[in-house]
Amino acid sequence: MKKTFGELLDEYVTVQIKVFMLIDKIQRNEHTKEDSYKCQQLNRYRSELKNAINAYFNERQEVKV
């Protein structure tokens, strides 16, 4: 089932907040190896969501996925 724009936007905002919180933790040097890995995975998923949003509006896709 194809996601609506609202669902894509909701997921994107949620992922963006999670990435922000992890980056803050990393910058304070209070992170674990798992936190770093999770941040990388969330960044990848964020790029996929941005591409899905761009596809919804027939815009250019991001290369870094």
AA identity, residue 23 = I
Instruction: Let me know the angle formed at the C-alpha of 20 by 23 and 60, rounded to the nearest 5 degrees.
Output: 110
6: number of CA atoms within 13 Å, CB side? 0
* pLDDT by residue, tens only, the chain of 65 residues: 789 999 999 999 999 999 999 999 999 999 999 999 999 999 999 999 999 999 999 998 887 65
List the domain range (segments joined by +) for residue 51.
Answer: 5-56
Q: How many residues does the chain have?
A: 65
Is 25 contained in some domain? yes
Is 63 contained in some domain? no
Residues 6+ apart with CB under 8 A from 25: 31, 35
Is 65 contained in some domain? no
Total count of domains within the chain: 1
Is 44 contained in some domain? yes
Core vs surface per residue 17-31: b (16+ CB within 10 A) or e: eebeebeeeeeeeeb
Q: Model's pTM, two decimal places?
A: 0.87
Is 38 contained in some domain? yes
